[in-house]
Amino acid sequence: MNISKKASEISSFLVMDVLEQANQMAAAGENVIHLEVGEPDFETPACIRDAACRALSTGQTHYTHSQGVPELREAICAHYKRTYGVSIEPDQVIVTAGSSPALLMAFMLLCDAGDEIILTDPYYACYVNFARSLDIIPTLIRTGRSDGFQLNPEKVKAAINERSRAILINSPANPTGICLDDDHLRELSSLSLPIISDEIYHGLVYEGEQHSILEYTDQAIVINGFSKAWAMTGWRLGWAIFPKELIRSAQKINQNLMICAPAPAQWAGIAALEEAGADARKMHEIFAERRRVTVAALKAEGLNVELEPNGAFYVLVNVSHLCNDSLKLAFDILRNTGVGVTPGVDFGPGAEGYIRISYANSTENIVEGVKRVGAYLRSLT
């Protein structure tokens, strides 16, 4: 069979390559520690699982409204009012099968082939592949230690041209764990382009306040979901919030590509928002402690943490003094220490020379894993 050019050229999601190799090693009996994958290690809270069981037992197994069951959309609106003081209406919300389809929908909605989306470098690995699969050009704005990995509004303004269609932000960010501050969000919102705001790590901010872009502008598409803060990665449940003038077009895209999100998962999502607050706060407290432990362990091993993260569950470590091939280094670390880490190059050229450590694991595993990685990296010098 002929394989399309797009399918041939798309890059793999490198963290998944590392994870799959690590799982093979574990299956062969090796002692493997996962510091690569961005997935909470907690079980989904019981009240959420119970809600899904009730939905199954009462026959909630059919197609739902293409925007999602009204009760879940209402619960999402209540969440935004309670958390951010922002008023949105249920008909602005589309419930999706995870946040990734919501991002793809936003790209399709705003851009034609040859148009441009402005985003940071480093960036979440799949953004660029989503854009290129639709013949959209990603315009990268380099960030780093000198600017606190904050997207500089002046640089964005200078990059805007007649083909620019949107600014994509991610706060808290993957892979840096950095939150955009109030000033940057306000200035970005004042530019001439709509904003696509990936807020999937909201609920996992440990210092300062978390802000939704909707606090600053209504000319934005917000992407969020249940995977991270509620430990629901396998449920594949997310949402997108659109300006009213875009909602019908977005709905048509969702009808064609996904029809609707899984019905039992949607009823579980209602329980997450209305009943699982204590569970989410407990997981947040544990992640906050793991963050402290991870940063302290990395520094104790002499590893270069340029900026301490204030959200998500990742730390970037600069290893550029050792090599300029983070992919090779990540697999060398895995083979020699049994610890999975993510190569920085997975997140764009701006993250080459780094590795990403995830602290979505127990404190014991984090301490042992960082100790192994530190000893191995010292051996290379």
Question: Can you tell me the distance from the alpha carbon of 85 to that of 212, in angstroms, rounded to the nearest whole number?
Answer: 10
Assigned token pair, 85? 């003081």
Quickly name the fold that domain 46-276 has. Answer: Aspartate Aminotransferase; domain 2 (3.40.640)
pLDDT single digits (tens) 85-107: 999 999 999 999 999 999 999 99
Quickly name the fold that domain 5-43+278-380 has. Answer: Aspartate Aminotransferase, domain 1 (3.90.1150)
CA distances from 177 to 3, 32, 68, 264 (A): 37, 24, 30, 31
For 228, the 3-state DSSP assignment is coil
pLDDT at 366: 98
Q: Is 312 exposed, middle or buried (0-12, 13-18, 19+ CB in 10 A)?
A: buried
The arithmetic mean of pLDDT across residues 290-303, rounded, is 98
The arithmetic mean of pLDDT across residues 206-225, rounded, is 96
pLDDT at 1: 87
φ and ψ of 115, to 5 deg: -75, 170
The arithmetic mean of pLDDT across residues 140-148, rounded, is 95
**Is the predicted pLDDT of residue 11 greater than 90, yes or no?**
no
CATH 3.90.1150.10 residue spans of the chain: 5-43+278-380
Q: Is 199 exposed, middle or buried (0-12, 13-18, 19+ CB in 10 A)?
A: buried
CATH 3.40.640.10 residue spans of the chain: 46-276
pLDDT single digits (tens) 243-266: 999 999 999 999 999 999 999 999
Torsion of CA 246, 180, 310, 304, to 10 degrees: 120
Q: Is the peptide bond before 122 cis (omega within 30 degrees of 0)?
A: yes
Q: What is the pTM of this model?
A: 0.95
The arithmetic mean of pLDDT across residues 39-52, rounded, is 97
The share of the chain scoring above pLDDT 70, in percent, equals 100
DSSP E strands, 72-148 = 93-96, 116-121, 137-142
Pick the more confident residue, 9 or 224. Answer: 224
pLDDT at 10: 87
Q: Which residues pair with 98 in a beta bridge?
A: none
